[in-house]
Amino acid sequence: MDKTKSTFQSIDEYIKTFPKEVQSILQELRKVIQEEAPEASEKISYQIPTFYLNGNLVHFAAYKNHIGFYPGASGIAKFKKEIDKYKNAKGSVQFPIDQPLPFGLVRKIVKFRVGEYKKKVPKKTKKK
């Protein structure tokens, strides 16, 4: 990553700062998230790629030795058994960059998070 760049305007801009092999991993991760959360918008938040749906849905980022995936505490807790084989914390998981990413797990987590965020939308009531 270009450490001299202080702000990114888009996810494309962020991804382009990495070597080609990392770019392809990030693009695939982005595609999986888009497929599971088609209503979500993309933005940069905390200087990393973020998908937004009535709040920050998930974030991801690339580092030297891992891809960080940030589905929040509820996303980690719900899939704790599957996530435990990776380094993780309350709201994050680190997927080793030299191993295939578990896209099936990512899909399940994103789908779960979409369900949570859809519940946050207040239902419109009809005026009488």
Domain carrying residue 45: 18-114
Question: Which of 54, 12, 25, 24 lies closest to 37 in space, CA to CA?
Answer: 54
User: pTM of the full predicted structure?
Assistant: 0.87
Tell me if 75 is assigned to some domain.
yes
- Cβ proximity of 8 and 47 under 8 Å: yes
pLDDT at site 3: 45
| Cα three-residue angle 109-111-115, rounded to 5 degrees | 115
pLDDT (tens digit, 9 = 90+) per residue, 10-69? 999 999 999 999 999 999 999 999 999 999 999 999 999 999 998 999 999 999 999 999
CATH at 57 = 3.90.1150.200
- pLDDT > 60? residue 107: yes
